[in-house]
């Protein structure tokens, strides 16, 4: 009994101490690290030069990456072609099949002399501290955790999350990979099977691959996050591992790869349209001017003047406001809030056609988000905003995850089209968490052909095979419609799911969603 009392007292003391230091992380005063200089004679450097149009001074090239197999093929190809540096920044990194494949390629790259910097959000990352430390043990790999909890270990982390909630409620939601400071990929995908069509939940997502002038701004943004006080080296947080741990990790990754070698899925990745286009040099690059839009890392610091400042959201709102004919929004989580609702309705009043694609109750992976979104549907529909919700089967016959058997679709994309003249692809959802609490990033491209391509994808995903269109009946009740059928309540959602979403809607948590 005394032992139990002593343990409880220790936990209470720890929480008290954590509460006292929860405002900001202590200053680190570490030497900065910067992106490597672009090498025009590297394989990536030659590729960029060979594919730049003659009149491309100041322009950047882009191509959309839509399917999960294409997205994994693109990342593996980038890692394999790196000669100098790989910079990765992710909210989630899972220790599953695709996470293991990427980790093994990163180790291979480091073995051949490539400097690897891996920045992970501490709360979002699914990797064990031991595995993170083992990766960091490689002399060419550096790992940092963004805004980490102070106490480590499975049990202690929960207490740390409680005591430090005022600080760790702010997360790094960015998703980015930069290779040799000359090419990058960004968008909605984290690292994990569900993002690459290899799980029961198949996220419908969009990435964009970029090169050219904009890459220097992207690399500078990564440096800002890497050198920020919120990014803490793992060696200062937990014990360093030895060579034996590194050997075990390599053996585990090799065994994982061998178990899946020759599988239908990996064959689909190797033969994906992107992989084939890369092999045959047929990737269609769209060249135009671009802007890298990002929140500063200090947005996650409760003691900083930029904390909760929606810098990225304000820039996007400015571009949306400039739209004259059409605004298309794809957002996995859509909670516009009262100000966002007024904004969208005002756009419609000024003659802009506004279309929104988001998740239905049956496809969302976060019930609380759907409960926060549901109350905005009627006012938006009444005001002329068109809304579509993803169907649970979402034309499953087109998805590679069918190799695993039947899977459920869920929208995870965060992409916007402005007047079919410019596009934004990035990590930001249209919800309070993305706008106020998380750091976010993405690229805005002024390129009509790319905008039309993304608008066509929006039209494809809002077709009858993929989505319901929401409409109001004569009595102002919501109806979910396709060409063949109309539903009077949330389609394909169980009674339990409907009840849970309804109850969550009563909680005062919208600002956290």
Ranges 40-44, 160-164, 290-294, 314-318: which has the least confidence:
160-164
Residue 424 has a pLDDT of 98
- Asked if residue 3 has pLDDT above 70, the reply is no
- Rounded to an integer, the average pLDDT of 474-494 is 94
pLDDT in tens, 436-454: 999 999 999 999 999 999 9
In Å, how far from its chain's centre is CA 466? 22
Q: Of 118, 124, 119, 108, which is closest to residue 76 (Cα–Cα)? A: 108
Q: What's the Rg (C-alpha) of the chain?
A: 23
DSSP 113-141: T-EEEEEEETTT--S-HHHHHHHHHSTTE
Confidence label for 211 from pLDDT (cuts 50, 70 and 90): very high
DSSP 284-345: -PEEEEEEEEE--GGGG-TTSTTTT--HHHHHHHHHHHT-SSEEEEEESSB--HHHHHHHHH
Distances (CA, A) of 403 to 35, 201, 407: 39, 13, 10
Q: How far apart are CA 425 and CA 188, in angstroms?
A: 8
Residue 403 has a pLDDT of 45
DSSP 473-512: -TTS-EEEE-SS-EESS-TT--HHHHHHHHHHTTSS-GGG
- Asked if residue 21 has pLDDT above 60, the reply is no
- Rounded to an integer, the average pLDDT of 501-510 is 87
Confidence label for 267 from pLDDT (cuts 50, 70 and 90): very high
Q: Which H or E run contains 272?
A: none
Average pLDDT, the chain: 91
Residue 239 has a pLDDT of 76
- Rounded to an integer, the average pLDDT of 4-23 is 49
Q: How far apart are CA 296 and CA 217, in angstroms?
A: 13
Catalytic positions are: 173, 175, 180, 412, 414, 419
C-alpha torsion angle, residues 232, 233, 239, 243 (rounded to 10): 160
Domains of the chain: 37-50+60-279 (3.30.870.10), 291-512 (3.30.870.10)
- Asked if residue 491 has pLDDT above 90, the reply is yes
């Amino acid at each position: 009994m005394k032992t139990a009392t002593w343990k409880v007292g220790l936990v209470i003391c720890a929480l008290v101490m954590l509460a006292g230091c929860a405002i900001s992380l202590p200053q680190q005063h570490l030497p900065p690290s910067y992106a490597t200089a672009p090498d025009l004679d590297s394989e990536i450097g030659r590729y960029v030069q060979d594919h730049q149009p003659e009149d491309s001074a100041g322009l950047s090239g882009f191509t959309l990456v839509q399917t999960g197999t294409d997205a994994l093929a693109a990342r593996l190809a980038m890692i394999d072609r790196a000669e100098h540096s790989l910079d990765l920044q992710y909210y989630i990194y899972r220790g599953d099949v695709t996470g293991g494949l990427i980790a093994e390629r990163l180790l291979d790259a480091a073995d051949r002399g490539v400097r690897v910097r891996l920045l992970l959000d501490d709360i979002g990352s699914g990797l064990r501290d031991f595995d993170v430390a083992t990766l960091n043990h490689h002399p060419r790999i550096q790992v940092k955790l963004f805004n980490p909890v102070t106490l480590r270990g499975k049990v202690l982390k929960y207490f740390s999350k409680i005591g430090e909630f005022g600080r760790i409620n702010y997360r790094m939601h960015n998703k980015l990979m930069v290779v040799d400071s000359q090419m990058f990929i960004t968008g909605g995908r984290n690292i994990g099977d569900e993002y690459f069509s290899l799980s029961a939940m198949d996220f419908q997502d969009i990435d964009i691959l970029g090169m050219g002038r904009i890459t220097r701004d992207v690399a500078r943004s990564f440096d800002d996050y890497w050198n920020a006080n919120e990014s803490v080296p793992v060696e200062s947080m937990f014990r360093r591992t030895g060579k034996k741990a590194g050997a075990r990790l390599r053996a585990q990754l090799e065994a994982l790869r061998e178990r899946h070698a020759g599988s239908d899925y990996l064959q689909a990745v190797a033969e994906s349209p992107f992989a084939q286009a890369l092999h045959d040099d047929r990737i269609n690059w769209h060249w135009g001017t671009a802007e890298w839009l990002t929140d500063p890392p200090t947005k996650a610091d409760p003691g900083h003047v930029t904390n909760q400042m929606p810098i990225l959201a304000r820039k996007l709102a400015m571009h949306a406001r400039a739209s004259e004919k059409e605004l298309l929004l794809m957002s996995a989580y859509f909670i516009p809030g009262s100000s966002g609702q007024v904004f969208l309705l005002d756009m419609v009043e000024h003659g802009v056609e506004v279309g929104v694609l988001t998740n239905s109750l049956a496809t969302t992976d976060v019930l609380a988000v759907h409960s926060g979104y549901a109350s905005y549907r009627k006012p938006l529909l009444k005001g002329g905003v068109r809304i579509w919700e993803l169907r649970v089967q979402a034309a499953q016959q087109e998805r590679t995850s069918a190799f695993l058997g039947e899977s459920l679709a869920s929208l995870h994309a965060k992409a916007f089209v402005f007047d079919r003249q410019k596009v934004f692809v990035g990590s930001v959802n249209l919800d309070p968490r993305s706008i106020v609490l998380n750091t976010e990033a993405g690229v805005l491209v002024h390129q009509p052909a790319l905008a039309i391509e993304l608008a066509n994808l929006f039209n494809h995903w809002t077709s009858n095979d993929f989505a319901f269109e929401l409409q109001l009946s004569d009595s102002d009740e919501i109806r979910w419609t396709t060409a063949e059928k109309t539903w009077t309540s949330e389609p394909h959602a169980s009674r339990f799911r409907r009840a849970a979403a309804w109850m969550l809607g009563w909680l005062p948590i919208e600002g956290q969603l």
